[in-house]
Amino acid sequence: MLPLTITLIQSDLHWENKEANLNHFEKQIDAIKQPTHIVVLPEMFSTGFSMQPALLAEKMDGETVSWMIKIAAEKKIIITGSVIIEEKGNYYNRLLWVLPNGQIAHYDKRHRFAFAGEDQQYTAGNKRLITSVNGWKLNLHVCYDLRFPVWARQQSTDSPEYDVLIYVANWPARRSYAWKQLLIARAIENQCYVIGVNRIGEDGNGIEHSGDSMLIDPLGEVIYTKSNGSDIFTHTLDKEALETVRNKFPFWKDADRFMIHSNDSNEV
């Protein structure tokens, strides 16, 4: 298995201003100093966490998606983050996984944040996305999904289902304690690296975000975290360290066997 280098970009967002956000993140990506395979941006990075999808949504050939394709090709990186997407009359908080060759995979946020009315504006996804890079398997999630451990749980007892769990978020500062503790818990219980990329600053609803983006190892030790400031952090994940943890403490073998079903009874 080859090394895997991932860059986390923690940043403020321009409220409901795609052009400003895309220009900003292009400069941030230009500022990355070392080679990297994957760049992770926050949830709804081109708009902020807006409940106005009718105004801001785009299709899969829209402005933000086209920008992601361009940047991925120019920089020869994978770029990921979530975007407001309209498809067949439905709106999705959609995490996009864009490869340098222009191929796109996506994950539609499963758990919509009803406290903010997200369930009234957006359609829930019903399929997880586990993708692979350099022999590493990555499980991709969005913000509020973090509160629901079954959705992220390793489901195989033959071998671990994935190696890295990623959350992109607009997680409020007033609940930052939960954010940090849950990210650590997901790493420990799934014996994997966990990455959480959150925004900073005040959004258009007056909600403050402290960032607290994190990279956590399979034992729950925090490799990186940053509060209340813009930051670009690049790190190469250690496959040997991951395998050592799993071999020395093979807790994943004792996990319960189970299957996840969506609310409409379609198996996922």
Catalytic residue among 16, 18, 58, 109: 109
Smallest Cα–Cα separation from 229: which of 204, 202, 208, 201?
201
Smallest Cα–Cα separation from 105: which of 135, 138, 74, 134?
138
Tell me whether residue 254 is exposed, middle or buried, using C-beta atoms within 10 angstroms of its C-beta: 0 to 12, 13 to 18, 19 or more.
exposed
- Rounded distance, CA 41 to CA 22, Å? 11
86 belongs to the catalytic site: no
Catalytic residue among 16, 18, 118, 143: 143
The residues pairing with 107 across neighbouring beta strands, listed in sequence order, are 95
Which is it for the CA torsion 161, 165, 168, 169, positive or negative? positive
Catalytic residue among 16, 43, 58, 118: 43
* Cβ atoms of residues 166 and 198 within 8 Å: no
143 belongs to the catalytic site: yes
* Cβ atoms of residues 57 and 123 within 8 Å: no
Question: What six digits make up the tokens of 112?
Answer: 């919509």
87 belongs to the catalytic site: no
Active site residues: 43, 109, 143
